[in-house]
Structure 1
Amino acid sequence: MSSSLPVITTAERRHRLGRRHRLAPSVRAASAARAADAVVALHATDAATVFLSLRARLTGGGPAAVEQALYGDVSLVRMLSMRNTLFAVSAELAPYVDSSTARGIAAKERRTLLKHLADDGQGLDAEWLERAEAAALETLDALGTATGSQLSAAVPALRQKITIGRGKKYETETGVATRVIRLLAADGRIRRDRPRGTWTSSQFRWVHTQPWSAVPAAEARAELARRWLHAYGPATEADLKWWTGWSLTDVRKALAAVGPEQVRLDDGGTALVCPGDTGPEPAPEPWAALLPGLDPSAMGWADRGFHLDPAHRPALFDYAGNIGPTVWWNGEIVGGWAQRSDGEVVWRLLGDPGRAAEEAVAAEAARLGEWVGDARITPRFRTPLERELVA
């Protein structure tokens, strides 16, 4: 390893996180799309995560401002993409995410469903699926928007049931509606619209839309890798492979197209940054943040050692490796938080970051409580510390 490589210290990595992820108050974003672009994509498996991740990064506005971005001007869209997971990305970035990642997922989803249909033995095939999809889209055109249940009620084909794993221990009968709707969404022919209930609900209505404009896959992967490196670098090839879910070959080709520079880290290891991005990052002002479960600042790397003490993992992660709500101080995870049934936001520090940190966290918790208002947040993935705090 060359000792002449530029050095980026752990402190500088945390400076980058605070500034580039728009978490320090002085660099918060003016729009939801810009906040999302700052971290490339927002985890959206849990409906509340999108809202709470944006709350921490926006200069102002309540849940209605996020709803406007998602359902009004549609500057932010949810897509099944990296790691076959639901994310929210800016409409500007969506064609690149679609071509680099979502197209492959959609093709795999279609192959899987067609195999299930063929194995079921009822004569359901690609032509039947095409007719079912067309009927669903025609119904959406007539209704404007509809939930999955409303679509199933209006489209007889979506009430079809099939048997998966016939004759095996895991044999089960299931309806096709959810799978057909998921496939239409993966293909970009429908998108999630306003949910039934509040902004914390995942019972979305669906609306007919047009697929994204085509971008060559290699170009799209390179653009996504470049944006990711800017937001998360210094980072490794393994980090990018984990974050995207791409094959190692695709990761290496994308990085080669970007032409990243290598830097040395405090621990003696090496990592990658965007070309020309080796200079020191100015320290932001001291900042605290209360981020939701699965927030991208906690989930952007396979190796999170520079901002997370390994001793804190058992309290903050569930059994499947999903991180819960976290408390941050100057680029480091220092605790966790939760909302109790009466609406109170409670938190606990896993160590002693000092009085200034405690005061800043308390102020941020008050800001979060005011922003959430009457809504109640229960993470989809419950972690030991979150459960303790609400008990």
Structure 2
Amino acid sequence: MATSGRDGAQGRPVVRHVDDDERRARLGVRHALAAPRATPEEVAVALVVLHATDPGSVHLSCWARMPDGVDVVAEVDRALATDRTLVKQLAMRRTLFAAPRDLLGALWPSAAARVARTEGLRMAQDVERAGLADDGQVWLGRARAAVLAALADEPDGLLALQVRQRVPELQVRLDVAPSASWTGSRVLTHLGATGDVLRGRNEGGWRTSRPRWLPTAAWLDPVGGPPPVLDAAAGYRELVRRWLAAFGPGTEEDVVWWLGATKAAARQALDELGAVVVTLDGDRLGWLLPDDVDPVGAADPWVALLPVLDPTVMGWKGRGWYLGDLGPQLFDRNGNAGPTAWVDGRVVGGWTRGPSGELRLHLLVPVADDARRGLVAQAERLGALLEGTEGSGVITTPLGRAAAPG
């Protein structure tokens, strides 16, 4: 393995240069966009996790990466509700993901635990500021125990509204800055972050979210039980390993941002993995797994229409190499991605739905005729899938506002 004379991050030698063309080729192959995957489970593994804040995005991310003719909605519902090979879990950056079941053992002690600590402290402080209790942590512990007791007698789980109706501690509203928030929902969220409860079957359509909440064992025991739980350092290490395999090379800033963790946690994971340093275009340093340093050739041509918060567009903090200057039109003010259109590893536009539900393709940069035809064909397929459905509208971008009726 040849090295240059230049020192990389943390004193490591630089292995080689990976230009933006190779990064785009890696993206197409690793993210199942240049070649489809057969099942939702294979798609999730390729992307580490699937974003699930918008419930329909799980299905649409899989649709973009699975063969034509597959009933993707039924397949994703099977994975989520029947086989439970994909499980929804709050984790990195306080984001809800659909994760491969075996990854829960890494998520719970690391990224999810970090979210739980932050949320628990904030909720306890809000309880005290609102005068609900003198000791917010004691109140939170009591409320958590009451929710678990209510769920223990319900083998099919309860909707969030049903939980609040049955647990007196949750029938309060805290009016605290920056905005009023329902304490009941926050307690369920905290229990989910700590891995004590999970979102089970969805009572709504595939583009809405009305999950039944169950104790973790009740949801997972019928399919073999929860996976072994790692310690925090091992959990972060496994997350970084999978991220590098799917998204590498990435900068340290990319890793820290995606993990929603500290630089210390990211650096420890990179060190323990023996990650190697490469240079990137723009005079930046990136990281790869030590067995993933061989050059990757160009992928076959491909096009894709990806949903809001798709893992590919949200996978890196530094996005110029695939997004160009389109970010202000396709992302909201919080840095969340709306629907995007792709050609060979580059974002070329987005898509919206018209007043009658028809799908509209918006190309913001010139594309070749073959790519345009491919995107139009994808838009027709996606429009047929979405016909008669309504999304949750969790992300509103400038492009979406500009394309809205009126």
TM-score (norm 1): 0.91
Kindly provide the amino acid, as one letter, of the partner of residue 160 in structure 1.
Answer: V
Aligned to 1:153: 165
From 28, 31, 34, the equivalent of 2:39 is 31
Return the offset for 1:259. Answer: 1.1
CA–CA separation in structure 2 for the residues paired with 1:141 and 1:147 = 14
Q: Which segment drifts farther, 206-215 or 312-321?
A: 206-215
From 143, 149, 155, the equivalent of 1:138 is 149
Identity %: 37
1:51 aligns with 2:59: yes
Kindly provide the amino acid, as one letter, of the partner of residue 20 in structure 2.
Answer: T
1:352 aligns with 2:352: no
1:5-20 map, 5 Å: 5-20=15-30
1:232-381 map, 5 Å: 232-310=247-325, 312-377=326-391, 379-381=393-395
SS at match of 1:294: coil
Aligned to 2:86: 76
SS at match of 2:266: helix
SS at match of 1:347: strand
Equivalent residues of 1:40, 1:231 under 8 A apart: yes
CA–CA separation in structure 2 for the residues paired with 1:374 and 1:174 = 32
Return the offset for 1:284. Answer: 2.5
Kindly provide the amino acid, as one letter, of the partner of residue 141 in structure 1.
Answer: A
Equivalent residues of 1:79, 1:89 under 8 A apart: yes
* Structure 1 residues 226 and 173: alpha-carbon distance in aligned structure 2, compared to 1, 3 A threshold: closer
Equivalent residues of 2:249, 2:287 under 8 A apart: yes
CA–CA separation in structure 1 for the residues paired with 2:17 and 2:138 = 58
1:227 aligns with 2:242: yes
Return the offset for 1:175. Answer: 4.2
Aligned to 1:21: 31
Return the offset for 1:385. Answer: 1.4
Aligned to 1:183: 190
SS at match of 2:110: helix
Aligned to 2:115: 105
Equivalent residues of 1:94, 1:212 under 8 A apart: yes
* Structure 1 residues 174 and 305: alpha-carbon distance in aligned structure 2, compared to 1, 3 A threshold: closer
Return the offset for 1:81. Answer: 0.8
Aligned to 2:9: none
SS at match of 1:323: coil
CA–CA separation in structure 1 for the residues paired with 2:181 and 2:365 = 48
SS at match of 2:102: coil
Structure 2 segments unaligned to the other structure (5+ residues): 7-13, 218-225
* Structure 1 residues 314 and 197: alpha-carbon distance in aligned structure 2, compared to 1, 3 A threshold: same
CA–CA separation in structure 1 for the residues paired with 2:82 and 2:90 = 20
Return the offset for 1:212. Answer: 5.8
SS at match of 2:153: helix
Equivalent residues of 2:200, 2:211 under 8 A apart: yes
- What are the Cα deviations for residues 180-211 of structure 1, in whole angstroms up to 9, with x where unaligned? 11111111121112333211112322122237
Return the offset for 1:91. Answer: 0.4
CA–CA separation in structure 2 for the residues paired with 1:121 and 1:337 = 47
Return the offset for 1:58. Answer: 2.0
CA–CA separation in structure 2 for the residues paired with 1:230 and 1:367 = 30
Kindly provide the amino acid, as one letter, of the partner of residue 295 in structure 2.
Answer: P
CA–CA separation in structure 2 for the residues paired with 1:379 and 1:121 = 35
CA–CA separation in structure 2 for the residues paired with 1:218 and 1:173 = 36
Kindly provide the amino acid, as one letter, of the partner of residue 44 in structure 1.
Answer: A
- What are the Cα deviations for residues 255-297 of structure 1, in whole angstroms up to 9, with x where unaligned? 1011112223344433111112121223322111000111111
CA–CA separation in structure 1 for the residues paired with 2:391 and 2:288 = 36
* Structure 1 residues 89 and 122: alpha-carbon distance in aligned structure 2, compared to 1, 3 A threshold: closer
Aligned to 1:86: 96
1:382 aligns with 2:396: yes
* Structure 1 residues 359 and 173: alpha-carbon distance in aligned structure 2, compared to 1, 3 A threshold: closer
Equivalent residues of 1:84, 1:105 under 8 A apart: yes
Return the offset for 1:54. Answer: 1.4
1:194-233 map, 5 Å: 194-210=201-217, 213-233=228-248
SS at match of 2:16: coil
Return the offset for 1:239. Answer: 0.7
Q: Which segment drifts farther, 123-132 or 46-55?
A: 123-132
